[in-house]
Structure 1
Amino acid sequence: MIVISNFQEFEQQVGNDLGVSSWHTITQEQINKFADATLDHQWIHTDPERAKTESPFKSTIAHGYLTLSLIPHLWKEIVKIENLKMEINYGIENLRFAQPVLVDNEVRLKVKLAGLLNLRGVIKATMSIEMEIKDQRKPAFSGDVVFLYHFIG
């Protein structure tokens, strides 16, 4: 895990692969809870029996936004940012879903620091990310996420 305490330490990482998270298994329970939270109960996510017979995947699949929602959690396994007042999700750019994540697939986040700007004390960090699926050639998605960091002092 990389530890970053200030802008200068962050700046030294621009262009670097920052690492990968641990593997996270997408369970049917997690998919169902996400469906409840987002009111998206489409059968391709929540009906395993119907998915076995009617889905081209022969399985339920995770919501694309469920996989995206794992970014902050998995990011914190890769880099620890210290001396923060606040961290804000600012945006997602050039996002492409390449293939679905099936129930019980394992996923992990791969991150490269693409860019960093100091906007009068607020740090705008752009990370190139990829959500890998274990034993699959193509990622679940790839794109750039942007966080704003407000360091103390």
Structure 2
Amino acid sequence: MREIASLEQMKTLIGSEVAVSPWVEITQERVNLFADATDDHQWIHVDEERAAAESPFRGTIAHGFLTLSLVPAMLAAALNMVDMKMGLNYGLNKVRFPAPVPVGSRLRARLTILAIEDIEGGAQVEWGVVIEREGGGKPVCVAEFVMRRY
């Protein structure tokens, strides 16, 4: 895990990839729990038999929004912002899912600081996030994630 001591140090890293998260395994159980939490039970995610027979992916795949929802945890596992007392998810500027995530995949995030803007009591940080699948040729998610740190 990388440590960044201060906001001033973060500002020197704008434009740089600053961290890579540990791998996260995408299990069928995780996909099913996400389906239950979001009421998105589309068969390509939860019906293993049908997905094996009918899906072009030859098995179940994770929801794109499941992949996206892992961004805050991946960031927290990859980076310790020592002087930050509280961080808030503020939103997203862009999100794309260029490739599917077959169940059984392992994912990790590459994190780049795109911009930092001072705000009252803290800073707004725009992160470039590229989530890659182990052994995959294309990213499974590319996003601009905005957080506020205090």
TM-score range, shorter chain: over 0.9
Aligned pairs, number: 150
- What is the alpha-carbon distance in structure 2 between the residues aligned to residue 129 and residue 89 of structure 1? 14
- What is the alpha-carbon distance in structure 2 between the residues aligned to residue 84 and residue 15 of structure 1? 20
Ranges in structure 2 where 5+ consecutive residues have no aligned partner: none
TM-score, normalised to structure 1, is 0.93
What one-letter code is carried by the residue in structure 1 that aligns with 2:128? S
**% identical aligned pairs:** 38
Tell me, yes or no, if the aligned pair for 1:18 and 1:78 is still in contact at 8 Å.
no
- What is the alpha-carbon distance in structure 1 between the residues aligned to residue 35 and residue 143 of structure 2? 24
Which deviations, in whole Å up to 9, do the C-alpha atoms of 1:85-111 show, x marking residues without a partner? 321101111211101100001110011
After the TM superposition, which segments of 4 or more aligned residues of structure 1 sit over 6 Å from their partners?
A: none
What is the correspondence of 1:92-103 to structure 2 with a 5 Å cutoff? Answer: 92-103=92-103
- What is the alpha-carbon distance in structure 1 between the residues aligned to residue 2 and residue 134 of structure 2? 23
TM-score, normalised to structure 2, is 0.95
In the TM superposition, residue 28 of structure 1 has moved relative to its aligned partner by 0.2
Which deviations, in whole Å up to 9, do the C-alpha atoms of 1:105-136 show, x marking residues without a partner? 11100111111111133210011110101111
Tell me, yes or no, if the aligned pair for 2:7 and 2:83 is still in contact at 8 Å.
no
What is residue 26 of structure 2 aligned with on the other side?
Answer: 26
- What is the alpha-carbon distance in structure 1 between the residues aligned to residue 73 and residue 65 of structure 2? 14
What one-letter code is carried by the residue in structure 2 that aligns with 1:36? D
What is residue 82 of structure 1 aligned with on the other side?
Answer: 82
Secondary structure of the residue aligned to 2:86 is strand
Secondary structure of the residue aligned to 2:96 is strand
Tell me, yes or no, if the aligned pair for 2:88 and 2:147 is still in contact at 8 Å.
yes
- What is the alpha-carbon distance in structure 2 between the residues aligned to residue 8 and residue 121 of structure 1? 14
The alignment yields a C-alpha RMSD, in angstroms, of 1.2
Tell me, yes or no, if the aligned pair for 2:2 and 2:78 is still in contact at 8 Å.
yes
Ranges in structure 1 where 5+ consecutive residues have no aligned partner: none
What is residue 3 of structure 1 aligned with on the other side?
Answer: 3
